[in-house]
Homo-oligomer: A and B are copies of this chain.
Amino acid sequence: MPVEMMIRKLRLHSELPDENVEALRAVVTPVKNMPEDSLIVREGDLSTQCCVIMSGFAYRSKVSETGKRQILSFHIAGDIPDLQGLPLKRMDHDLTTLSPARLGFINHDALERIIESRPALARALWRETLLDAVLFRQWIVNLGTRSASGRMAYLIGELRQRLAAMGLVANEQFDFPITQSKLADALGLSVVHVNRVLQAFRTEGVLDFKRRVVTLRDLERIVELGGFESVEEDGGRA
């Protein structure tokens, strides 16, 4: 049951009665398989449903008027990357698969109906969209205050933590099928420089980024370089 990832993540952040969880589970439509680089929703679209990542990766991005694409965030199994579309409707960015992915969908009308009578669920979803914003703020700090290698280390560190919470890290190694060009778009760097940073990490034994798989060789250094600090340990719960 791949919906479990989503449930797991929600319950990591909010207390939820079983009944609410069941109601939510019931409105997730059958899974759809999508190849990599498929646009799920486009900036400007009016959303009528939101998507649940069952497996694989997705990313949100925007292109600035300068023509450069900025990747805003990466999403993993369990995430609902366009949940904010429920209240906002109009998408302010694109959502694309990074790898082949299995997606579930939740129709907005159906979701509205079930949260109407379930305040705890409504609140949990609100919190979920705000935890998203927490990551954006951290990303701003990352872009604004760190050097190229620091940014890269931070990205890997954050990803590792989120994947670990979903049980997707084994032996300090995880799947992350991304090109250096997309890394560059996420970090606000040039492809060439991303390559240089990765090379350095490899030769210095910090981490290895081969064949869609990241291997963390010196977690200590990564945490240090990325100035990474643990987040959402309690999901901000009171």
Contact = CB atoms under 8 A, between A and B. Distances in A.
Nearest to A119: B116
A62 to B, nearest CB: 5
A70 B140 contact: yes
A137 B93 contact: yes
A237 B89 contact: yes
A188 B127 CA distance: 29
Interface residues of A, number: 52
Contacts of A119: 116
Contacts of A146: 64, 66
Contacts of A138: 62, 92
B92 A236 contact: yes
Interface string A94-134: 00000000000000000000001001001100110111111
Interface of A: 46, 60, 62, 64-66, 68-70, 72, 84, 87-90, 92-93, 116, 119, 122-123, 126-127, 129-134, 136-146, 150, 185-188, 227, 229, 231, 234, 236-238
17 contacts: A62-B138, A68-B144, A69-B145, A84-B133, A88-B134, A89-B238, A90-B236, A90-B237, A90-B238, A92-B231, A129-B129, A129-B130, A140-B143, A143-B144, A144-B186, A144-B188, A145-B188
